[in-house]
Amino acid sequence: MHPVVPETGTGALSLPQVRFFNPGLAPLYGSEDDERCSFTPAGLPFTGAAARACLHELASLAETFGNSRDLVVFALDNEKAQDHAHKHAGQQELADLEAFVAAGGGSFAPAASHEPLMKNPLVEAQKTLLLAYSLEESVSELETLQSRYESSLASMGDLLGAERDADLQELAGLAGAPSALEGRGTDMMRLSWRVVLDNMAVFLPEGTVLVTDDGGMKDVLAAMEETAALDTQEAAALCSAWDDSALAAAGRLMKVQAPLWRILGHGRVPEGRDWQQTVFTVVFGAES
């Protein structure tokens, strides 16, 4: 969902016209006219300020959880969400916001206290994607902070002539300074790619070609019987901008064309999730 450094990306994500899914927030990279910017689909129940307010309420709720795993469970389990709503007043604001969106942004009537949360598939899907977007952004921010800290420490060592971390530690004012920050963004629990893709598919227009660089997803796709190498002719049929030079820059690519329920690993279409019958083409880079 986030292009970390799209201009210097490699593999499938560097293909022309690949856009990154945005669950209704303002684009963070480039302008709306930039082909590398985020793709915001039509039909989102939360748009603009409402999406930001929803994300704010989710962030406020996150403070009531001990770790990101509990928050993920909350987002995916409606019964647990209702139990949590009875214990924490912050959930009431989110329920009120959902009621406002469900009413089409018209007259606002706050949800009654302890009223069961709505099971509007569009609202639930976007709320899940907003959470996934926020968690992914936090991972990126923590990784950037870690990298900058290590780089700054190394630069300071070069300037002061310290060849080892131990030498740097002995300098006045730096005693006790860690050589790296504790923890990494990659240690954070994020939503499974299956959950993200399932909810993302609710809003994708017909004929969308999916492109991924997620390691776990690529492992699953590579093992599917529908997997095949993507040749130049097939690539051009999927996207006219995917010519020989684009494919050469991206490296060896694979494709899978299958119903979403197969891609997600189900034996059949789950009840109430008819959109999983949609056939998608997924392009990903082959491991060298």
Q: How far apart are CA 236 and CA 16, in angstroms?
A: 12
* Count of all residues that appear for the chain in the document: 288
218 and 284 Cβ atoms separated by less than 8 Å: yes
* Extended strands (E) in 151-238: 209-212, 228-229
**Predicted pLDDT of residue 140:** 65
Q: How far apart are CA 142 and CA 254, in angstroms?
A: 31
Beta-carbon count within 10 A of 39 CB? 16
**Predicted pLDDT of residue 59:** 73
| Cβ partners under 8 Å of residue 207, min gap 6 | none
**CA geometry: angle at 208 spanning 206 and 212, to 5°?**
150
**Predicted pLDDT of residue 197:** 96
Q: How far apart are CA 147 and CA 157, in angstroms?
A: 15
What are the pLDDT tens digits along the chain (288 aa)? 876 544 444 588 889 989 889 898 865 555 555 545 678 898 999 887 888 888 888 777 766 665 655 666 665 555 555 454 444 445 555 666 566 565 555 444 444 444 444 468 898 899 899 988 888 877 766 766 776 766 666 665 565 555 555 555 555 455 555 555 555 545 555 688 999 999 999 999 999 999 998 889 999 999 999 999 999 999 999 999 999 999 998 999 999 999 999 999 999 999 989 999 999 999 999 875
**Predicted pLDDT of residue 6:** 43
**Predicted pLDDT of residue 116:** 44
pLDDT digits (tens, 9 = 90+) for 204-226: 999 999 999 888 999 999 999 99
pLDDT digits (tens, 9 = 90+) for 37-92: 678 898 999 887 888 888 888 777 766 665 655 666 665 555 555 454 444 445 55
The two three-digit tokens of residue 190, written as one number: 């994020």
DSSP, collapsed to helix, strand or coil, labels residue 136 as: helix
**Predicted pLDDT of residue 53:** 86
